[in-house]
Structure 1
Amino acid sequence: MDLPAGILTLQRTDRWVGVPLCAILTLLRRIFECARRPGPHQVRRILFVKLAEQGSTVLAYPAIRRAIDMVGRENVYFVVFEDNRFILDAMDLIPEGNVITIATHSLFGFTFSTLRSVLQVRKIGIDAVVDMEFLTRFSAMLTFATGAKTRVGFHTFFGDGPYRGDLMTHRLLYNPHLHTSQMFEAMVEALTRDPAVLPTFEFTPSASQPLPKFRPSLSEVAEIDALLRRENPRIGSAPLILLNPNASDLLPLRRWPAMRYVELARRLLERYPDLFIGFTGSPAEAVPNNRLADEVGSSRVIPLAGKTTLRQVLVLYTRSEILVTNDSGPAHFASMTPIHVVTLFGPETPALFAARSPNAIALWAGIACSPCVNAYNNRQSVCRNNLCMQAITVDDVFQEVTGIYDSLKRTTSGN
């Protein structure tokens, strides 16, 4: 289970190019910012840097809401990789024009759009940046390049993580015992504190945090109903359980063995004669995912991978009862809807990355070597055999799914 070439290239570039550049920028900072007055500055416009992983953007919802409370919706901005802006638009928190994108399809496009985004941020007059990336060097350099007087980000004080220079004015420790959404909230709160006292500051993130809500239009619901009928005319208003077999290429170790989704689908269909199963996935996952759907060998299976836009996937969640997925973006997208979600964790821990929805259940085997990827190792692992995911059996998932589904049926019949 090797990482894709593109991801490996980004990681190696971040290391071999990022380290010397961070060192150079740190030297420049000490020369040109040495006379700047310490202490908190007035914050009028806040920029978030969260380039990748749309699921983490959903977890940042409470932090973004806090920033909006501080400076107003029209004064909150976001820098994100172009392919990851969708979820920001779906959350509908900030104006679409406040989302600044960086292209990643080619080196030239990446370089050009990065420079363009820096110039755009400087033209806007951003005075505070929150770097929500986990100890990546590119985001630290980008944050510094904005010229903002206040820059919040994670810092490795004792070599306890990847070197990324000393480019933040408000330096925080990455806390591996605090849920990611709470850590993001603490980063925004740090904007109000004197940097001289950081990383220590008295702030307790709320245990119960607000969740983003996705509300499709009636026409969008009708569109999904039409899609389902087109793919399988028999479905009508029958209950639907969705299976999402693949995690993203960012971390292939998160994948549950594909044939277990097939076995799970067969057992669910056998137990519930009225149930339909949908296999979902991105266009890049369409061929293998839809092949799995065919492998089930049932007329009550609907292959949906590659046949929906990301927004249509959210609408599909509002039509469905349960989603079973690896630890990936869909688990967090689904938390914006009423669907129940069973998420399978292995190389990462649900204690930090589980969806915050009350309808979300995390399955994690908890073997000795899991979790093996984290912010400190740049989310890399020597593992090439994800025993942590293989340790989650079909029986484990079947038990959770049937428990939820039976409870939903009792609730429906009780009404």
Structure 2
Amino acid sequence: MQLSTMRRIDALVGRPLCFLLGSWARCVDRLSGGSHPEPPRRVLFVELSEMGSTIIAAPAIQRAHALCEQPPCFVIFKRNADSLRLLGLFKEENIFCLPDTSLMAMFFGVLRFRSWCHQRGIDTVVDLELYARISSILTVISGARTRVGFHNYRAEGLYRGNHLTHPVNYNVYQHMSANFMALLDALEKPASEEPGPRCAPRPAEQVVSTPIKLDLQKHLMEQLKQRCELPADAQLIIINPEAGTLLPIRNWARKNFALLSQRLLERDERNVVILMGVPDGQATIEWIHQEVDDPRCVNFVSCTRNLDDVLQLCHLSRVLITNDSGPAHFATLTPIPIVTLFGPETPTLYGPRGPHNANLFAGLACSPCLTAFNHRNSGCTDNICLQRISVQQVLDASCKLMDDAAQAGPA
């Protein structure tokens, strides 16, 4: 389904369902004496639509492994499930893939979800979503007696029901990894109506990493050699110029990526620029490729067969330069330095974590304009916030990260 269609369904159907199911859940809680006071036995995480957020949530998920008797479970849209598998924190039978190709498919998926939760003895749900009401609906439908999630309290904003036994204040001044950790902090405390949790934010450093897979790297190098003559000591630079079709406002101008590629190739004859992306970005990447017109600039669209290939390409490369999108977060599972371009959203909340990253952000008064309070639905059609980031700034940041990594030596 298109994003606009999902927003309309969420607004028209989501509001009354959140009210009805939330009221029903509250009545059940009162009749049964409230939520379970004992530690959770099995936690279900809900994060449907944000592939990058599953990576940001990794520290919170690891903490749930330590807190609970049984391995946690996860529900996610089927099209996004590969991002979750990258973490290696969930057994396949503990991942529920919800279809979202149509309203009918989603409806029958929700019916199966209720039975799936019952079979696994889910007693606690942690809702990682900020925007969608469907995650609130799934939280209640799961049948869990303990429900943790973000709540707006007295703030104006999206109504997502009043069903949470452990409501948590969404803190716009804390990185999302710290916000996710706050959900686990709340889970360790008694149920409360008060804004919480009332404790210092916990650090949430990324500790998950992916191993080198030589067979996949061999395949990728063969693909590269078919497309260009690699220097013997080639230095691979990945550029991801598309942020996806759902939020095109997050895209830096393609002419900037073309000029940046030319400058990188001029800087060192060993540099090879790899233009990476999904098939939807083929037109943009082909335009950049033709504009650069250099044999060391490679159109690599569709050559990465899955996210595993993307990570192995990161292992092979010197730096990743990308719009604010999923690959910026996936790459944190490898040692590669990352340059991420922010504008409509802020690195304060969503910047990739790690010591070898540069998050470029102009910080205009109107930015960020995609937030939890407008359902990521900005009225902006001219992303001046990204246009203010110059090619020279990105070039300088990229070269510094590569030089620093060269001086530090192999990780």
TM-score normalised according to structure 1 size: 0.94
Shift of 1:410: 4.3
- What secondary structure is seen at the aligned counterpart in 2 of 1:85? helix
Q: Residue 367 of structure 2: which of 370, 383, 400 is its match? A: 370
Give me the whole-angstrom Cα distance separating, in 2, the residues matched to 1:19 and 1:134: 15
Give the corresponding residue for 2:229: 233
Provide the alpha-carbon RMSD of the alignment: 1.9
Q: Residue 380 of structure 2: which of 363, 380, 383 is its match? A: 383
Q: Residue 192 of structure 2: which of 164, 189, 196 is its match? A: 196
- Unaligned stretches of 5+ residues in structure 2: none
Give me the whole-angstrom Cα distance separating, in 2, the residues matched to 1:215 and 1:62: 18
Return 400-409 or 336-345, whichever deviates more. 400-409
Shift of 1:75: 2.2
AA partner of residue 36 (structure 1): S
AA partner of residue 70 (structure 1): L
AA partner of residue 363 (structure 1): L
Q: 1:351-390, CA deviations, whole angstroms, 9 ceiling, x for partnerless residues? A: 1100111111100000110011211221111111111011
Give the corresponding residue for 1:21: 17
Q: Residue 73 of structure 2: which of 72, 77, 84 is its match? A: 77
Verify the 8 A CA contact 2:320 2:339 in the aligned structure 1. Answer: yes
Verify the 8 A CA contact 1:229 1:236 in the aligned structure 2. Answer: no
Give the corresponding residue for 2:151: 155
Pairing of 1:178-217 with structure 2 (within 5 A): 178-196=174-192, 198-207=194-203, 209-217=205-213
Q: Does 1:256 align with 2:255?
A: no
Shift of 1:208: 5.3
AA partner of residue 362 (structure 1): N
Q: Residue 84 of structure 2: which of 73, 81, 88 is its match? A: 88
- What secondary structure is seen at the aligned counterpart in 1 of 2:30? coil
Q: 1:378-415, CA deviations, whole angstroms, 9 ceiling, x for partnerless residues? A: 11111111110111111111111122233344455x99
Q: Residue 93 of structure 2: which of 97, 100, 105 is its match? A: 97
- What secondary structure is seen at the aligned counterpart in 1 of 2:339? strand
Shift of 1:150: 0.3
Residues 169 and 393 of structure 1, relative CA distance in 2, 3 Å threshold:
same
Q: 1:209-251, CA deviations, whole angstroms, 9 ceiling, x for partnerless residues? A: 2332011322122222222112223344400111100102232
Q: Does 1:125 align with 2:109?
A: no
Return 267-276 or 27-36, whichever deviates more. 27-36
Return 298-307 or 282-291, whichever deviates more. 282-291
Q: Give the number of equivalent residue pairs.
A: 409
Verify the 8 A CA contact 1:245 1:255 in the aligned structure 2. Answer: yes
Give the corresponding residue for 1:407: 404
Q: 1:12-59, CA deviations, whole angstroms, 9 ceiling, x for partnerless residues? A: 111111111112222323333222323634310000001011111100
Shift of 1:130: 0.2
AA partner of residue 142 (structure 2): T
TM-score normalised according to structure 2 size: 0.95
Verify the 8 A CA contact 2:42 2:121 in the aligned structure 1. Answer: yes
Give the corresponding residue for 1:116: 112
Give the corresponding residue for 1:302: 298
- Unaligned stretches of 5+ residues in structure 1: none
**Percent identity of paired positions between Structure 1 and Structure 2:** 37
Give the corresponding residue for 1:287: 283
Return 338-347 or 158-167, whichever deviates more. 158-167
- What secondary structure is seen at the aligned counterpart in 2 of 1:116? helix
Q: 1:61-83, CA deviations, whole angstroms, 9 ceiling, x for partnerless residues? A: 100000001125x5210000001
Q: Does 1:267 align with 2:260?
A: no
